[in-house]
Amino acid sequence: MIASNRSIRRLQYFAAALFALATTCSATGATNFSIRHQVSGGATLWGLVEGPDGLVAVGTGGRLLTSEDGKNWQSRETETDAWLTAVTFANGRYVVVGESGVILLSDDLITWRLVADVPTEERLNNIRFGGGRWVAVGERGTIIWSDDAVIWRQSSRLTSKWLRALATSEAVDVDGTRHRIWVTGGQADVRLHSFDGIEWIKDTFSGNGGKDVEAFTPIYSGFGTTSQSEGTFRVHSHEFGAVGSDGFIASYHVISSLDPSGDDPNGIYHGFYFHSLSGSTDDEFKDIDWRAIVRGNGRHFVVGTAGTVLSAPQIYSRSEWTRHHNLPDTTFTAAGFGLDSFFIVGANETIVQSSPSFRGQLANLSARGRIVGAHGSLVAGFVLGGAEETTLLLRGVGPQLTDFGITAPLPAPRIRLQDASTTTLQTNNGWRFSQHLSLATSQTGAFPLPDGSDDSAMLATLAPGAYTLTTNDESGDEGVTLSEIYHVPDREGVFPAAHPINLSTRGRVGAGEDVLVGGFVVEGASAIRVLVRAVGPGLAQFNVGNPLADPTITVQSADGTLIGTNDNWESQAHPGDQTTILNEILETSRVVGAFPLDAHSTDAALLLWLSPGTYTATVSGNPTTSSGGEALFEIYELP
């Protein structure tokens, strides 16, 4: 599996490139709110996050509340009465920061422990995770970082002002190259940026007239090119929403250029570009101190003092900001998504929940495998849920894979779409340019195909139901191919309610480029639970010849973070009770309609909690017990 990481990174681009668009599905905003928890004179809550065990909110006086359903909140004991300011979840761990350098850890939301050795006694105001690293910022320019949330190190101090706004974003180039940026800001418009979260650069550009910067949220990241006298440069661009004191709302740009000589991998220039949008809201909001900005389902939400909550599909337009009413007149300090809802927290232990209109969902499948023999094929199956028709972009890519380092692509892939009765609905062998295909390619973020190439592509408008997309080569040639299923939004970026609820790919697994690689996207605002399986021996019951004897499945996030891995489904690495986990896998398989795996088989399975983002699943064989064979990769969205 390690040997195939480079190939995995290439495939991750195919899904990652469309993620920015996949997350722009429209929502009308959270218009109905309910107060779930409030205590007169209680603590001020400053942080909120969702994890697989539920929600956690933290605040002053060491206050820490958890909830499994968003409605009923329970106080948890900690070893501190310090002001807790922020919380995040990543890599199976909840991490809380607060005053006096306090850091709390938990694996289950129930038991919390203090980190013993923290290299600062300053108050920490925020924490984020990205690229396998936690970064926390705080008073007097404090920045600390950790790769395991246990051992922390301090970055050089570049300012004496407090820092609170913190965010990270990653751009993915067409060849799989990744470029991450960290940004932080705070008192009197102080702003810093970093490429690794360790070494920071202070921004000297004038920004918002000295207003405090309270929060950032990622909006966009991507690559492009620019031509200058020195040559043609690859440009990576990151955009963040920013809010702060005195009604300040802005977009915040970080643009960096890659030196074509390769001498400076971080770029020959990089700068922050603020175009203040304080006037984008009415004068009634000019005195509001905005404390948080979050983005979900294609809308930006800002929350602040006086119980004020605004939302807009675009951060730039004055006319599109909408105020949400029927909210308590209190200071809101933080916001986030979870349990298919939008949550806001603030003073007097206030916790507000929206109507459940922010559900996450599966979207898009990219599967790469090698076709061997005259009758070889790569088979992708999917089920569309919902009650309406939806349009998909379907592609079988071969020749174009040479641009991504594949040395032996399938020369002329042919794709065939069939319904559940095996009736052929559409076929394509060698795509040709059309305005509809061009628009769908742009809307989904799929990489472009050269006009007249032997790659295949077609659009299909389908009713809910089960379908199969088969990719092969009519001439019997062998090679690596990429099968893609994209969920196509409308011209406004709105996705229909109907969407793929399970995705599967069957193909040959060997070694090196012969691993079966599936990329998929979780779109929306809230996390979802999925069942992921790699089936080899279980295919024998369906008369599949030469099934893979001992498949292993590994799931990674877009930044390469390991989410989970399994070799044999009855041997789970999760720290919970094994019997409970296995029973849950069996029951989940029954609920979603997956065929049962035999007891003691060497098939693999995982139950995962996945936040919105891009993921890659790799199915490989055990080199000591398997010489290769047919394998099935499956992912099911749980209700």
Task: Give the confidence band of 19 by pLDDT, cuts at 50, 70, 90.
Answer: very low
Coil, strand, or helix at residue 346?
strand
Q: Reduced to 3 DSSP states, what percent helix, strand and coil does the chain have, rounded to the nearest 5?
A: 15, 45, 40
Q: Report pLDDT for 278.
A: 45
Instruction: Look up residue 199 and give its two tokens.
Output: 């070494």
Give 512 or 407, the one with higher predicted confidence. 407
Cα angle 634-595-636, degrees, rounded to a multiple of 5? 35
Cβ pair 631, 516 in contact under 8 A: yes
Cβ pair 246, 278 in contact under 8 A: yes
**Average pLDDT, rounded, for the chain:** 85
Does residue 4 have a pLDDT over 70?
no
Cβ pair 26, 492 in contact under 8 A: yes
Cβ pair 243, 214 in contact under 8 A: yes
Average pLDDT over residues 584-609: 92
Cβ pair 131, 197 in contact under 8 A: yes
Highest mean pLDDT among 100-109, 220-229, 295-304, 367-376: 100-109
Q: What is the pLDDT of residues 230-246, one digit of tens each?
A: 666 667 788 899 999 98
Does residue 11 have a pLDDT over 80?
no
> What pTM, to 2 d.p., does this model score?
0.85
Instruction: Give the DSSP H/E element, type plus range, for residue 108.
Output: none
Whole-angstrom distance, CA of residue 322 vs CA of residue 549: 57
Q: What is the pLDDT of residues 28-86, one digit of tens each?
A: 444 689 999 999 999 999 999 999 999 999 999 999 999 999 999 999 999 999 999 99
Cβ pair 176, 404 in contact under 8 A: yes
Q: What is the DSSP string of 370-426?
A: EE-STT--EEEEEEE-SSS-EEEEEEEESGGGGGGT-SSB-SS-EEEEEETT--EEE
Q: Report pLDDT for 271.
A: 45
Nearest of 91, 92, 86 to residue 53 by alpha carbon: 92
Beta pairing class for 479-487 and 390-397: antiparallel
Cβ pair 147, 132 in contact under 8 A: yes
How many residues can be counted in the chain? 639
Instruction: Give the DSSP H/E element, type plus range, for residue 182.
Output: strand 178-186
Q: What is the pLDDT of residues 475-533, one digit of tens each?
A: 888 898 999 999 887 665 666 667 788 888 888 887 655 788 888 989 889 999 999 99
Give 46 or 256, the one with higher predicted confidence. 46
Average pLDDT over residues 355-359: 89
Q: What is the pLDDT of residues 538-572, one digit of tens each?
A: 999 999 989 999 999 999 998 888 999 999 999 88
Cβ pair 555, 608 in contact under 8 A: yes
Q: What is the pLDDT of residues 182-217, one digit of tens each?
A: 999 999 989 999 999 999 999 877 667 788 999 999
Q: Report pLDDT for 513.
A: 56
Task: Give the confidence band of 87 by pLDDT, cuts at 50, 70, 90.
Answer: very high
Q: What are phi and psi of 437, to 5 degrees?
A: -65, -40
